[in-house]
Structure 1
Amino acid sequence: MKVLKSKKTLIDYVERQREMGKKIGFAPTMGALHRGHLSLYKAAKKENDEVISSIFVNPTQFNNPDDFQKYPKTLEKDLELLEKAGVDAVYVPNVEEMYPDGLNSKKYDFDGLENEMEGKYRPGHFDGVGTIVEELFRQVQPHNAYFGEKDYQQLAIIKKMIEKTKLPVKIHGVPTLREEDGLAMSSRNVRLTETQRKEATIIYETLTKVKEWFKVISLEEIKQKVTDIFRNSNFELEYFVIADEETLKEANAIDEDKKYRAFIVAYADTVRLIDNMHLG
């Protein structure tokens, strides 16, 4: 596996692959890799000749500087995992490579997707995501790119960015990979205490109940039940939303022609966990 540390070495490498007629699959990460990330490369290997990863902790998408400082950095272990997963090359740029003109995000119009859910709680977050993903796409020039559905809003934002920028990249969503007890795999899980880790199943268990309730009780009743569950737990609910999968706007009534998804964000002390589930 090639480890590419500069934009020049990356672009030279990519150009050689393209000259050989290879189809390139790409999945960017912020490191601290787990099996959820590796499922992206498994999907990429099925559809591409060359699979590229990147590891870059993007400062402009963190609203909380403390969260940025505490984000786990495990580069050596990450590189071992990527090699075992059959990744062909990994791009590990520094901040100067990605932000040569200083840490400034581009301003995007994502047709309102950026104003829902995460956008309300993390202003500017999706400008940071869009800036770094667009720059990575321009450097890596992939044919296909892969993102996990755990960050469903991010996936929708990236699809919208492709639509707006007309970059020739096909975006693929990969289903959330879960632990045996249902907890969505996340780099932040390692920051949970043993007790918090056991209790964190409350998020998946609640989403599963919401899926059942969605067929039989009102949206207002569901919201109240979810609020009560978290009020009686050690987790602080930041938000619970049932939203239209396409617009991500919160549902006030159910339209049979639309698809819906439930989203939960909760804190275990200072660790922020997110998850979602299609409601069928």
Structure 2
Amino acid sequence: MTEIAVVETVASLRAAVAGWHAAGEKVALVPTMGALHSGHIALVKEGQKHARRTVVSIFVNPTQFAPHEDFKKYPRTFDTDRAMLEEAGTDAIFFPPVEAMYPPGYATRVLLLGPAAAGLEDRFRPTHFEGVATVCCKLFTQSRADYAVFGEKDYQQLKVVTRMADDLDLGIEIVPLATIREADGLAMSSRNRYLSIEERERAPVLHRAMQALATRIRNRDDLFRAVSEAQSEIVSAGFELDYLEARHAESLAPVTSLADGPIRLLLAARLGGTRLIDNIAV
């Protein structure tokens, strides 16, 4: 197994990508914050279906964390991450320090509307998507990759980044990948490691409740009643519910019935000290 290249500067990243492009090879970027799991590796494998070369960025982006959130305690597991990426056949890791991404005097951010202002994650994390879009815009232009692969688990994020790349003519194709789940349905996430044993056993309730709700909507039950009863079920199971909503799958606008579709169910809930998000298609 060839040792993976680790680059820490934009110049080094661009030189590597330029060499691949000169050889006629396409490049896929997988943006991450590290603490990798098999869901991330699935993103790498998806990138390898589209491009001869894959680059994974590992950067815990401070601008997408609010002051009260877990930036400092976000897991940093670079050695383990590198071993996983080598095993997966990744060509390079882009591992920049904060000062390379946000040097002294940095003063530019991406202003967002559309799916970033849908009243979902943005209602609870009002500065989050601005930070995500800004760092993704930088990563896209820094890498000059042909593709960028994002999971559907962070569905609103996927729609925000796709809209931004199109609107700003960034010349990169956003490739979505269906949510990777544990055997019991829980969406894979780096934050799942924060769950206690008892909480981990309870967490799949969220996916089951959404599946049941999707079935009711497909069967043309009253949408508002079905959503309300699913919300009550989740709260009764011990979760603190931020939202469970039925939205248009592309615009994320509110819907009133199946006729307004395609519909996506989106959810965020807290279990103990861990915030879980998920979504499914109806």
CA RMSD of aligned residues (A): 1.5
1:224 paired to 2:228: yes
Q: How many angstroms apart in 2 are the aligned matches of 1:176 and 1:45?
A: 18
Matched, 1:17 2:20: yes
| TM-score normalised by length of structure 1 | 0.95
Percentage identity across paired residues of the two chains: 36
- Taking the aligned partners of 1:170 and 1:86, their CA distance within structure 2 comes to 22
Q: How does 1:190-229 map to 2 (within 5 A)?
A: 190-214=193-217, 215-229=219-233
Q: 1:267 to 1:80 in 2, by over 3 A?
A: same
In 1, Cα distance between equivalents of 2:140 and 2:18: 14
Counterpart in the other structure of 1:77: 80
1:2 maps to amino acid: A
Residue 33 of structure 1 contacts residue 187 of structure 1 at CA under 8 Å; is this kept in 2?
yes
- Distance in 1 between the 2:94 and 2:115 partners? 32
Which of residues 151, 171, 189 is equivalent to 2:154?
151
Pairing 1:250–2:254 present: yes
> CA–CA distance in 2 between the matches of 1:14 and 1:229?
50
Question: Bigger CA drift: 246-255 or 67-76?
Answer: 246-255
8 Å Cα contact 1:63-1:125 kept in structure 2: yes
1:241-280: CA deviation from partner (whole Å, max 9, x where unpaired): 1000111012123325x3001011000122110000000x
User: Following the alignment from structure 1 to structure 2, what is the Cα–Cα distance between the partners of residues 33 and 252?
Assistant: 38
The C-alpha deviation readout for 1:66-111, integer Å capped at 9, x for no partner, is 4112211111100000111110001000111111145756142333
**Which residue pairs with 1:260 in the alignment?**
263
Change (3 A) 1:277 1:105: farther
SS in 2 for 1:131: helix
Q: Kindly provide the amino acid, as one letter, of the partner of residue 120 in structure 2.
A: M
SS at match of 2:176: strand
Residue 103 to residue 151, structure 1, CA distance change in 2 (3 Å): farther
Q: Which deviates the most, 166-175 or 211-220? A: 211-220
Letter in 1 for 2:119: E
Aligned length: 278
1:40 equivalent in structure 2: 43
Shift of the alpha carbon at 1:46?
Answer: 1.4
Q: What does residue 63 of structure 1 align with?
A: 66
Match of 1:117 in 2: 120
Deviations 1:97-141 (A, max 9, x none): 111145756142333543431111111211101100000001111
TM-score for both structures, normalised by structure 2: 0.94
Are residues 105 and 264 of structure 1, via their aligned partners in 2, closer, same or farther at CA, if it must alter by over 3 Å?
farther
Whole-angstrom CA distance in 2 between matches of 1:112 and 1:13: 34
Matched, 1:163 2:166: yes
Structure 1 pair 200–104 and aligned structure 2 pair: CA distance change class (3 A): farther
Which residue is equivalent to 1:108? 111
- SS state of the match for residue 70, structure 1? coil
Aligned CA distance change for structure 1 residues 112 and 40 (closer, same or farther; 3 Å): closer
